[in-house]
Amino acid sequence: MSKRSEKVAETIHTTISSILSRGLNDPRIGFVTLTAVEVIDDLSLARIYYTVIGDEAAKKSSEAGLNSAKGHLRKELGRVLTIRHIPELIFKYDHSQEYGNRIDSILKEIGTHDGND
């Protein structure tokens, strides 16, 4: 990632996190936390990684809410970013936290065995 795309990614992360913390007028969007933003070098696309507190239904409804709010979020980004074209937004659920929790539970399970089985 170029220095410029990193700076745009940082601004997108901060701006959308702020908007989400104030709340969007969409009851489908639950407790969403942005974990990362990647902007490709030509600044045409931003991948926004997020997690959601809740079950599978909460994930699906939050994803639908985020996708329907893309236009509003891009408009808000247009007020903050000093670039001609605002990147397309793609929301991707971040599975890394679930993966890390699974590894932790496996390691704890292994740690409870003393090896004398």
Residue 72: inside a domain: yes
Instruction: For residue 117, tell me if it sits in a domain.
Output: no
Instruction: Report if residue 82 sits inside a domain.
Output: yes
| Per-residue model confidence (pLDDT) at position 106 | 82
**75 CB contacts (<8 Å, ≥6 apart)?**
none
- Predicted pLDDT at 14: 96
Which pLDDT tens digit goes with each residue over 13-51? 999 999 998 888 888 998 899 999 999 999 999 999 999
Question: Residue 117 pLDDT more than 50?
Answer: no
Query: Alpha-carbon distance 61 to 49, whole Å?
Result: 16
Domain that holds residue 41: 3-111
Give the chain's domain count. Answer: 1
Query: What percent of the chain is predicted at pLDDT more than 70?
Result: 91
Q: Any idea what the CATH number is for the domain that residue 28 is in?
A: 3.30.300.20
| 98 part of a folded domain | yes
Domain annotation covers residue 116: no
Who has greater pLDDT, 96 or 4? 4
Question: 76 lies in a domain?
Answer: yes
Q: How confident is the model at residue 2 (pLDDT cuts 50, 70, 90)?
A: confident
Separation CA 82–CA 79 (nearest Å) = 8
pLDDT, residue 90, reads 97
Phi, psi angles (nearest 5°) of residue 68:
-75, -20
Q: How far apart are CA 110 and CA 75, in angstroms?
A: 50
- For 47-65, what is the mean pLDDT? 93
CA–CA dist 93, 110 (Å, integer): 29
Decide if 74 is inside a domain: yes
